[in-house]
Structure 1
Amino acid sequence: MIDPNADRAVFRQLADLLRNRILSGELQPGASLPSELRMAQEYGLSRTSVRQAVSILRSEGLVSVQRPRGTFVREAEFTDTVTLRKGDTASARMPSPTERRDLDLAEGVPILVISRADGSTDLYAADRTRVSR
């Protein structure tokens, strides 16, 4: 339930509700979210608040917006495993626009930077990659 009198902004409350439905499996990967108009009516919010909530979920990589089709729960993607060798290090950072495009990353998804002992660097999508030793 959205409480307009709560200390938390209504669009954040809606994002929390939708996130919980996605993470609990109630909204499965590939499922479409209700339209902006329908959510605005259902929760008594403005369409702007609904857009802000969807934007949060999009930045978290939970949904993708496919205009004009709608907003969909993202499919679980294949997870790569990168093995670190002796002398390798791993760090994370936000990608540049070019890196985001090259790695096909959703907005808000960081990249893993693997610095190899030989001086080379590899970049991986953090939401699809596991690091092991």
Structure 2
Amino acid sequence: MPGDQSSLRLYRQGLRGTTSPGYGGTRLCGMTIDPRSHTPVYVQLADILREQIEAGELAPGSALPSEARMTQEYGVGREAVRMSISLLRSEGLVNTVRGHGSYVRELPQRRQVEVPPGGSVIARMPSGRERRVMQLDEGVPVLEIRDAKGDIEVMAGDEVELTRPPD
């Protein structure tokens, strides 16, 4: 069907615009959720929510729509909604408070940290212990900053902006 290819092409290109009617998907926010796409429905929903967050339509601290509302509005199942929120949580974009819902994560104020001459930086996901001790939200990486002597300092990746000393 021509509508299927047109809708899929618009989705993959991330373009806003109209799609051909009758393709069997749900059109919202200028993007389409197509259940026949090779892209899983939960990824398509996460893409829509991510776009709304990045565009400021869902501001830091604001609540995401409830699971029930998203299933109705986007025409997807509850499991797809939960998986899309889990994906956004793993990316550090949202927090979920059990019994209260999911919220757009507020980014902390960043401080500048200078990488010492001869030093190196490794970004990685924290261990469970590091997450608890450093009180990191899910999806937030840590940075291992190693100086020339080999000493390592571990910092929350969303709290620092790395700089190099001037040449």
What interval of TM-score do these two structures reach, taking the shorter chain for normalisation? Answer: over 0.9
Partner in structure 2 of residue 39 of structure 1: 70
> Partner of 1:116 in structure 2?
147
- Superposition TM-score, scaled by structure 1 size: 0.94
Instruction: Give the Cα–Cα distance (whole angstroms) in 2 for the partners of residues 72 and 108 of structure 1.
Output: 14
Q: Does 1:20 align with 2:51?
A: yes
| Regions of 4+ moved over 4 Å | none
Q: Distance in 2 between matches of 1:106 and 1:76?
A: 11
- How many residue pairs get aligned? The number is 133
Q: Where do 5+ consecutive residues of structure 1 fail to align?
A: none
Match of 1:54 in 2: 85
Which position in structure 1 is the counterpart of 2:123?
Answer: 92
Give the partner amino acid of 2:55. Answer: S
For 1:63-82, list aligned pairs within 5 A.
63-82=94-113
> How far apart in 2 are the matches of 1:12 and 1:100?
26
Deviation of 1:112 (Å):
0.5
**Counterpart in the other structure of 2:25:** none
Question: In structure 2, how many angstroms separate the alpha carbons of the residues matched to 1:69 and 1:8?
Answer: 29
Q: How far does the alpha carbon of each residue in 1:84-115 deviate from its partner, in whole angstroms, 9 at most, with x for none?
A: 12222111112111111122222222210001
SS in 2 for 1:5: coil
Between the aligned partners of 1:70 and 1:77, the Cα distance in structure 2 is 21
Any gaps of 5 or more consecutive residues in structure 2?
A: 1-31
Higher relative contact order (CA 8 A, sep 6+): 1
Question: What corresponds to 2:132 in structure 1?
Answer: 101
> Partners of 1:5 and 1:17 in 2: how far apart?
17
Identity of aligned residues (%): 48
Partner of 2:60: 29
Corresponding residue of 1:127: 158
Aligned residue identity for 2:129: T
Output the TM-score relative to the length of structure 2.
Answer: 0.76
For 1:86 and 1:76, the matched residues in 2 are separated by 29
Q: CA RMSD in A?
A: 1.1
